[in-house]
């Protein structure tokens, strides 16, 4: 029997952390874990160019890259760090942040699997939780962040 490559299993999506570093801060902004993260995406526009007399083909040329907005959701706590950051950005519209979404192993070892780096981030929406006395659910706040660049970053070695 021939030697086979080891199976490579896909990563799980439930074990991740979010690190947001506003301009001038060396410590991460967020003091709580997020339950959901969505919007890590980039799309490249494609331009179609037709040449006169060549009716059987069209040239496809890469255009600019567009980036999505990240939506983060977490249970609201007594830590108002996201609200303070949003207010700082309202007071100073030039303020930006770097953010990293880190996909970790599900076994609790916190070993990194992937690190997504977002550059020149700005909060664009901060939503208070809907309040309803009859449901008895956790109050979930939502933050949307726009970013100017998104790339897969260098995985850092575990500190444990």
- The pLDDT tens digits of the residues spanning 10-65 come to 888 888 889 999 987 778 887 668 999 999 999 999 999 988 888 888 999 999 99
- The pLDDT tens digits of the residues spanning 90-126 come to 999 999 999 999 998 888 677 888 999 999 999 999 9
What is the DSSP secondary-structure string of 38-69? E---EEEEEEEE--TT-TT--EEEEEEEEE-E
- The pLDDT tens digits of the residues spanning 78-87 come to 888 899 999 9
Confidence (pLDDT) at 160? 45
CA dist., res. 37 & res. 154, Å (int): 20
Contacts of 20 (CB under 8 A, 6+ apart): 28, 29, 30, 85, 97, 98, 99, 121, 145
Domains of the chain: 16-152 (2.30.110)
């Amino acid at each position: 029997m021939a030697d086979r490559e080891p199976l490579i299993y896909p990563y799980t999506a439930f074990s991740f952390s979010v690190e947001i570093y506003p301009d001038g801060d060396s410590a991460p902004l967020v003091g709580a874990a997020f339950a959901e993260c969505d919007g890590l995406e980039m799309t490249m526009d494609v331009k179609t160019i037709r040449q006169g007399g060549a009716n059987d083909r069209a040239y496809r040329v890469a255009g600019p890259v567009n980036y999505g907005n990240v939506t983060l959701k977490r249970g609201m706590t007594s830590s108002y760090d996201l609200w303070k950051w949003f207010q700082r950005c309202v007071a100073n519209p030039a303020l930006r942040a770097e953010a990293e979404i880190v996909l970790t192993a599900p076994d609790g070892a916190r070993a990194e699997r992937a690190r997504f780096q977002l550059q020149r981030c700005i909060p664009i929406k901060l939503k208070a939780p809907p309040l309803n006395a009859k449901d008895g659910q956790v109050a979930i706040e939502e933050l949307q962040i726009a970013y100017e660049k998104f790339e897969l970053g260098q995985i850092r070695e575990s500190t444990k």
